[in-house]
Amino acid sequence: MNSISRREFVKVAASALVATVALSASRATSREVGGRRWAMFIDVSKCYGCMACVVACAAENNVPVGVFKTWVERHVLPGGVVFVPKQCNHCDNPPCVKPCPTGATYRTADGLVLVDSGKCIGCGACIVSCPYGARYFNPLTGVADKCTFCNHRIKLGRLPACVEACPTRSRVFGDLSDPGSEVRKIVDRVQTRVLKPETGAEPQIYYYALPEVASK
């Protein structure tokens, strides 16, 4: 009986260790396969709903009126109003990739989830499968669209427009696989949360001070 208990204890301890290592690896390097893993940290306590990020994104990416690549939700809680910025989470296990019948939606070597407009047929499979409501049908191009972390800017060493425009620095962007990057240092130091972890999508936007009502 003692032998069985000891064996069971070892199994439980091993499982706990694996879970801890997995969480650490997810935050430290995610599933980085190209030398980098772009990620974002958002401090909800610093956001006051000015919408500078939304405007900057729309101007930078020619976002049509009525749809958004990033948006800010307003939640009225007992302690006051909380503003929560949201957008595509550039997941490590993106639910939107497999349903795409043409391969238009894909994940890059550095973890960005993008759309090849030349391959997209506008079927909407990716829009329906995204658990975050982060995709939309672009009426100007006729294809699915979403946040790209301003891929065209980061290729030039610049920050995404939403990050650059934020007056309170509630957003921090960088390479999560780099131990010296600001985003990695923050994520290692601060207790963060991600949206809808139960989906298994492994989102790469990490939130601080995220209220439970906004994590759904």
Residue 47 CB partners (closer than 8 Å, separation 6+): 72, 83, 84, 85, 166, 168, 170
- Give pLDDT tens digits for 170-188: 999 999 999 999 999 999 9
Res 206 pLDDT > 50: yes
- Which residues partner with 43 through β-bridges? 208
- Please answer whether residues 34 and 176 qualify as being in contact, where contact means their C-beta atoms are separated by less than 8 angstroms: no
Residue 128 confidence (pLDDT):
98
Res 11 pLDDT > 90: no
Residue 20 confidence (pLDDT):
37
Supply the mean pLDDT for the chain.
Answer: 88
Tokens of residue 8, six digits: 């069971």
On whether the pTM is more than 0.95, the answer is no
Q: Which domains occur in the chain, in start order?
A: 31-214 (3.30.70.20)
Measured CA to CA, the distance from residue 32 to residue 28 in angstroms comes to 9
8 band by pLDDT with thresholds 50, 70 and 90? very low
Residue 35 confidence (pLDDT):
83
30 band by pLDDT with thresholds 50, 70 and 90? low
Residue 146 confidence (pLDDT):
98
Res 49 pLDDT > 90: yes
Residue 55 CB partners (closer than 8 Å, separation 6+): 165
